[in-house]
């Protein structure tokens, strides 16, 4: 048998009737007789995938009483921590991938002058990934900073089809003023391509799907396909068959799994659209037809779209704004009947803090869905969770006081082996969140001396001895 260098290109795409479908990484993309680690495909696949998730209104555990009750951060620093009293309990199955960083602060989100007092809800989001204090203005002279995700995208996202994608769950307003003299863009944007260039987020899963897979061609073609309840894959039957004939059994199974995922995402979007067009009363009557009324259904759809995009290396960078400051949305699945913003003003009373903690726990419970999905997807000799870094946090701490201390924050994923995980790091008082972001950028391969108001990079892989259950039983 003659071994040749003939192989599928990592950039192979299938096209038909306005549809563009990129392929996941396959063994057939590695030239025969070539070590995986030496291929261009391996270098592209090995780039860390970054997901930055922002949740507003801080956490119950950021209050003085909530801190003593360990409502967010575990009591113990190091590797032997107990998540059961905390809102992080849903992460227990993935603790080996989780890096908890507690007790940081966001100085950039605080009021720096008298006219800014009271405007915390309207400037905080702009500081989350920039750690830069935004200029107070309702005009066009907005100014913040380049965000962490966009710094990474500028360095390592330019050779993917889409350098980055910005998503959101609640409505956004990119024009006009909101309150306390702040442009709404500060409230509704976490990704900034430059200090003066906020990047708008997409709320509608259908719009994300179309951007990733080039669905349509013309509005009429898209409408006709939706009317037929057809899939974009139906326009690629011949091309899919041609590719499959070039694949071995393992690749064929991986390719089929990817196609199944794409088809299932599309089917779920179609079901949402059909339900929302049925005339039934909606919980979110103002939302686009492709937006589910259910929070968890919406978030999970967005996460599945992220995973599909990462598989095909369409993009390596996502940001997802999970809520909007001062939102009074109710989350029935959390077991709480009151709105998010009212619940966040807990008056430092334990019974009200417990209500907010339930909402915090519900929000965190969305994350294992993404982690499990990424872990299930192979990437070379590993999986996508090993090659990813997921950030979850808030620029607000105690929402009752509108302060920005004891911020809720954790990282998940091993970032290509550069993040060890399974650790709780408790920062010293007044440690800037920017210290963490500086370390994250270096972990991602971006060398910077400073980020925002950072003082020094934080060690995200501290030396803590792991304590096993057997050790504890033996008293070691």
Which of the residue ranges 35-39, 157-161, 260-264 would you say has the lowest mean pLDDT?
Answer: 35-39
Span 279-299, average pLDDT: 95
- Asked if residue 2 has pLDDT above 50, the reply is no
Torsion angle of C-alpha atoms 51, 156, 194, 127, degrees rounded to 10: 30
Which of the residue ranges 58-62, 85-89, 168-172, 226-230 would you say has the lowest mean pLDDT?
Answer: 226-230
pLDDT tens profile 69-78 = 999 999 999 9
Span 340-367, average pLDDT: 98
Of the candidates 29, 12, 30, 34, the residue with the CA atom closest to the CA atom of residue 21: 12
For 355, residues 6+ apart whose C-beta sits below 8 A from its C-beta are 336, 338, 343, 346
What own/partner pairs with CB < 8 Å and gap ≥ 24 does 238-246 have? 238/16, 239/14, 239/15, 239/16, 240/14, 243/8, 243/12, 243/14, 243/23, 246/8, 246/28
pLDDT of residue 217: 58
Percent of the chain scoring above 90 in pLDDT = 80
- Read off the pLDDT band of 476 (50, 70, 90): very low
Span 436-458, average pLDDT: 97
Span 1-27, average pLDDT: 72
**Average model confidence (pLDDT) across the chain:** 90
CA distance 167 to 184: 17
- Asked if residue 374 has pLDDT above 70, the reply is yes
Task: Tokens for 463, please give them.
Answer: 């030396």
Of the candidates 172, 96, 127, 179, the residue with the CA atom closest to the CA atom of residue 393: 127
Task: Tokens for 200, please give them.
Answer: 């708008």
Percent of the chain scoring above 70 in pLDDT = 89
Tell me the β-bridge partners of 319: 52, 166
pLDDT of residue 11: 73
- The burial of 203, by beta-carbon neighbours within 10 Å (0-12 exposed, 13-18 middle, 19 or more buried), is given as buried
φ, ψ of residue 279 to 5 degrees: the values are 95, -5
pLDDT of residue 464: 73
Q: Identify the H or E element spanning 426.
A: strand 423-432
Buried b (16+ CB within 10 A) or exposed e, 153-191: bbebbeebbbbbbbbbbbebeeeebbebebbbbbbbbbb
Task: Tokens for 327, please give them.
Answer: 């939102």
pLDDT of residue 470: 33
Task: Tokens for 136, please give them.
Answer: 């107070």
CA distance 355 to 160: 43
pLDDT of residue 172: 82
Torsion angle of C-alpha atoms 67, 71, 77, 83, degrees rounded to 10: 170
- Is residue 393 within 8 A of residue 128, CB to CB? The reply is yes
pLDDT of residue 356: 98
Of the candidates 368, 353, 361, the residue with the CA atom closest to the CA atom of residue 335: 361
pLDDT of residue 19: 84
pLDDT of residue 228: 61
CA distance 197 to 273: 32
Which runs of E-coded beta strand occur in 285-398?
Answer: 317-321, 378-379, 382-383, 388-393
- Read off the pLDDT band of 8 (50, 70, 90): confident
Helix 367-376 crosses helix 295-311 at what angle (to 10 degrees)? 30
- Asked if residue 472 has pLDDT above 80, the reply is no
pLDDT of residue 174: 66
pLDDT tens profile 291-304 = 999 999 999 999 99
pLDDT of residue 28: 85
φ, ψ of residue 217 to 5 degrees: the values are 130, -55
Percent helix, strand and coil across the chain, each rounded to 5?
Answer: 40, 15, 45
- Asked if residue 244 has pLDDT above 70, the reply is yes
Q: Please state the length of the chain.
A: 476
Domains with residue ranges and CATH for the chain: 1-45+206-287 (no CATH), 48-203+291-474 (3.40.720)
- Asked if residue 39 has pLDDT above 80, the reply is no
């Amino acid at each position: 048998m003659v071994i040749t260098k003939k192989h599928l290109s990592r950039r192979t795409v299938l096209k038909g009737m306005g549809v563009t479908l990129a392929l996941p990484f396959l063994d057939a993309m590695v030239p025969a007789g070539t070590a995986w680690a030496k291929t261009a495909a391996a270098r592209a696949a090995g780039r860390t995938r970054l997901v930055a998730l922002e949740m507003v209104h801080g956490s119950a555990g950021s209050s003085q009483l909530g801190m003593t009750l360990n409502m967010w951060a575990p009591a113990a620093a190091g590797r032997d921590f107990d998540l059961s009293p905390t809102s992080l309990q849903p992460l227990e199955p993935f603790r080996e991938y989780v890096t908890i960083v507690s007790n940081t602060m966001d100085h950039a989100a605080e009021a720096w002058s008298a006219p800014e007092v009271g405007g915390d809800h309207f400037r905080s989001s702009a500081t989350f990934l920039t750690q830069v204090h935004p200029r107070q203005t309702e005009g066009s002279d907005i100014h913040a900073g380049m965000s962490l995700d966009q710094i990474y995208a500028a360095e390592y996202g330019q050779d993917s089809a889409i350098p980055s994608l910005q998503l959101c769950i609640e409505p956004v307003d990119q024009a006009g003023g909101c309150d306390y003299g702040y442009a709404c863009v500060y409230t509704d944007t976490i990704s900034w391509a430059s200090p003066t260039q906020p990047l708008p987020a997409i709320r509608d899963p259908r719009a994300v799907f179309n951007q990733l897979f080039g669905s349509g061609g013309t509005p009429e073609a898209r409408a006709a396909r939706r009317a037929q309840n057809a899939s974009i894959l139906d326009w690629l039957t011949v091309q899919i068959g041609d590719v499959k004939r070039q694949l071995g059994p393992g690749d064929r199974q991986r390719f089929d799994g990817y196609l199944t995922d794409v088809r299932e995402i599309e089917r779920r979007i179609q079901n949402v659209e059909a339900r929302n067009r049925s005339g039934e009363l909606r919980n979110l009557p103002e939302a686009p037809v492709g937006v589910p009324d259910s929070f968890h259904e919406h978030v999970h759809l967005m996460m599945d779209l992220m995973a599909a995009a990462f598989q095909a290396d369409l993009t390596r960078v996502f940001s997802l704004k999970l809520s909007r400051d001062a939102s009074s949305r109710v989350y029935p699945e959390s077991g709480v009947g009151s709105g998010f913003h009212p619940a966040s003003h807990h008056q430092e009373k334990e019974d009200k803090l417990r209500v907010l903690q339930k909402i915090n726990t519900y929000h965190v419970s969305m994350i294992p869905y993404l982690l499990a999905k990424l872990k299930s997807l192979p990437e070379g000799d590993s999986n996508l969770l090993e090659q990813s870094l997921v950030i979850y946090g808030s620029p607000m701490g105690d929402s009752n006081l509108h302060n920005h201390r004891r911020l809720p924050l954790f990282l998940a994923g091993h970032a290509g082996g550069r993040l060890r995980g399974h650790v709780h790091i408790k920062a010293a008082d007044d440690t800037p969140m920017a210290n963490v972001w500086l370390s994250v950028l270096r972990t991602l391969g971006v060398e910077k001396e400073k980020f925002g108001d950072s003082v020094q990079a934080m060690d995200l892989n501290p030396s803590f001895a792991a304590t096993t259950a057997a050790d504890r039983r033996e008293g070691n």
